[in-house]
Amino acid sequence: MNNMRTWSADVLYGLAIAAVATALFIHTFSDRYEFNPLIESVSTVFFPRIILGGIIACSLGLMIKGLQNSSEGDRLPSVNLTRAVLVLGASAATAAGLWYVGYFYVMPVGIFLTGWALGYPNKLILAATAIVATIVVWVALGHFAAVTFPTEFRLELPVSNK
């Protein structure tokens, strides 16, 4: 008999997410991100650290849930490769578009496309969620945290000033 315990998909996914988030969290303490409290009120990595800390906590919860519900017969679920490529493409296009087109034009489209790629069936609710989420993030970070967002069209390529 095989006495090895198999890990559930929750444990493996939680472990992978925790590893990436922890590496990024540690990277935020690099000397690259200098902070002068006399000039700036908040470090540029303050909010990413909060978000990464939340991701680490959620991934730990996912691993705990997976360990509690783990059984000998657990197998990793299959991944729809087309859906994964669509989500990655929508995310990459949104990230690139933020700089060149602006937050208000790109973010609702990016949220909608990501939800659509993930298979959410109700397009009306998806569109409303995309618009509301864009406004909520802008208000929360733009007004309360004083984070600036690219909000205008910048369709010209950046030019080096050498």
Question: pLDDT (tens digit, 9 = 90+) per residue, 69-78?
Answer: 765 555 555 5
Predicted local confidence at residue 65, as pLDDT? 84
State the average pLDDT over residues 22-49. Answer: 77
Q: Is the model's pLDDT at 124 over the cut of 90?
A: yes
Predicted local confidence at residue 3, as pLDDT? 47
Measured distance CA(29)–CA(117) in Å, rounded = 34
Please name the residues in contact with 127: beta carbons below 8 A apart, sequence gap of 6 or more: 108, 112
Predicted local confidence at residue 84, as pLDDT? 75
pTM here?
0.55
Residue 148's Cβ-count burial label (10 Å; 0-12, 13-18, 19+) is: exposed
